[in-house]
Structure 1
Amino acid sequence: MTKCIFDLDGTLTREESLPRIAEHFGIGSEMETLTREAVLGKIPFWASFQKRVHLLKTLPVREVADVLYDIPLYEGLIGFIARYSGSCAVATSNLSCWVERLAERIPCEVYASAPKLEEGRLLGIETLLDKAAIVRDWQREGHRVIFIGDGSNDASAMELADIAVAAGITHRPAEAVLDVADYHFQDVDNMVETLEHIMSETTDRSETTNPE
């Protein structure tokens, strides 16, 4: 079976989520710079993410989740996920406590980084999601894995994936992503059409190999 793993920010969302949070709370300038440099791989993602979480950790967790619930999504990709929900997942480095409401709008399993919380207050990051580990786990189960992403923190997972798709629909993907990508799309419709073709090829092959 073919499985699809989607990055969230800038891949399924029409904008990066952390700058949106910062803008809502009036602390946008430094956040925008840190996010842009992390996406492009100019500074290590882990260091950037720690700094960005530190900037936001005093904010009310529930209010942050409410802000992200309204972030615009690429409906064409959400429609694709709905059609193949059992074969799709989202892998985001963002914190589960922040994206839990947004995840309600995405019809598949969502993997996220684990926050360190105390009485509903964010203290920091407990565990950063290892996207490559999800790819490896699915491949061990015998699946062919497609990974769709745009940021430098997607590159290691994309390099392991059987098919790597660079999503250039929100901004230019990181060079590390482009280096390992089998496809690079700047248009959602073209991306969906290609993913549909790959999924239908898999179905046709399965039906031919294992006729009823």
Structure 2
Amino acid sequence: MSKTLYAFDLDSTITKAEILPYLAKELKQAEEMDLLTRQTLEGFIPFDVSLTKRFNILRHIPLKRVHELLSELPLDQEIVEFIRTHQTNSIVITGNIDVWLKPIIVKLGCPCLSSITCLKNNILELIDIMDKGKAISKLKNEWEKIIAIGDSTNDIPMFQLADMSIAYAGVHKINIEVAKQVDFIFDDSKELCAFLNQL
């Protein structure tokens, strides 16, 4: 059994913006996407319901274009550097869409667990939405200690099962429900990574 795994949320933890609203600008539907995303982050809409709605809006953007857009999405360089230095014991756990994330995951060089899609009649279909709690549960069989880093209500199942939970307010303020579930809160990625390096 390996020692410590760092489990990172993706959107607004590693990225400097929420991915789906960022993509929605391509379809000129950023306002609707922003609203759905905010309501989800604050826990007003269940993640699976929200993701399905948001995916259905965005799935018609050609994959090549999604990759072009996401290759330009700003990332938190302190966190990226931490993950690159700890590739063998870092993982990204995200509800986001598997085939869309390649440009980001390639930059990180670590494994990624995400929602799963498949192509049916040239249309992207969502077939399995990531359950972060189940993901952490399975990983606990392989790792002695799991440290979860995220920012929203969607990360609560991950926070509850991890050995240590950290909320990172790099983009969003941490809401009270998330704050109740975590051991530490950081709003500076340099301080966060310095803390992780001391563990």
1:160 counterpart = 2:180:
no
Q: Structure 2 counterpart of 1:26, which letter?
A: K
- What residue number does 2:18 align with? 16
Task: From the CA coordinates, give the structure whose radius of gyration is larger.
Answer: 1
**1:170-189 equivalence runs, <5 A:** 170-189=171-190
Q: Distance in 1 between matches of 2:108 and 2:38?
A: 25
In structure 2, the partner of 1:101 is 103
Shift of 1:134: 2.4
- Corresponding residue SS for 2:12: coil
Q: How many residues align?
A: 197
- Provide the secondary structure at the position in 2 that maps to 1:108: coil
Q: Give the structure-2-normalised TM-score.
A: 0.94
Amino acid at match of 1:155: I
Give 2:140's aligned residue: 139
User: How large is the RMSD of aligned CA atoms in angstroms?
Assistant: 1.3
Could you say which residue in structure 2 is the equivalent of 1:112?
114
Q: How high is the TM-score relative to the length of structure 1?
A: 0.88
* 1:80 aligned residue: 82
1:70 paired residue number: 72
Q: How far apart, CA to CA, are the structure 1 residues paired with 2:43 and 2:110?
A: 28
Q: Quote the offset at 1:34 in angstroms.
A: 0.3
Is the Cα–Cα contact under 8 Å of residues 149 and 166 in structure 1 kept in the other structure? yes
Q: Displacement, 1:135?
A: 1.5
Q: Which moved more, 1:84-93 or 1:94-103?
A: 94-103
Structure 1 alignment gaps of length 5 or more: 199-212
CA distance in 1, matches of 2:53, 2:176: 22
Say if 1:63 and 1:119 are closer, same or farther in 2 by CA, change over 3 A: farther
SS of residue matched to 1:43:
coil
CA spacing shift, 1:117–1:176, aligned 2, 3 Å = farther
Deviation at 1:116, TM superposition (A): 3.2
Render the CA deviation track for 1:114-168: whole Å, top value 9, x for unaligned. Answer: 013225431x310011222222222223420000011211101111100000011
Q: Unpaired runs of 5+ in structure 2?
A: none
Offset, 1:36:
0.8
Aligned-partner residue type, residue 109 of structure 2:
P
Identity percentage of aligned residues: 29
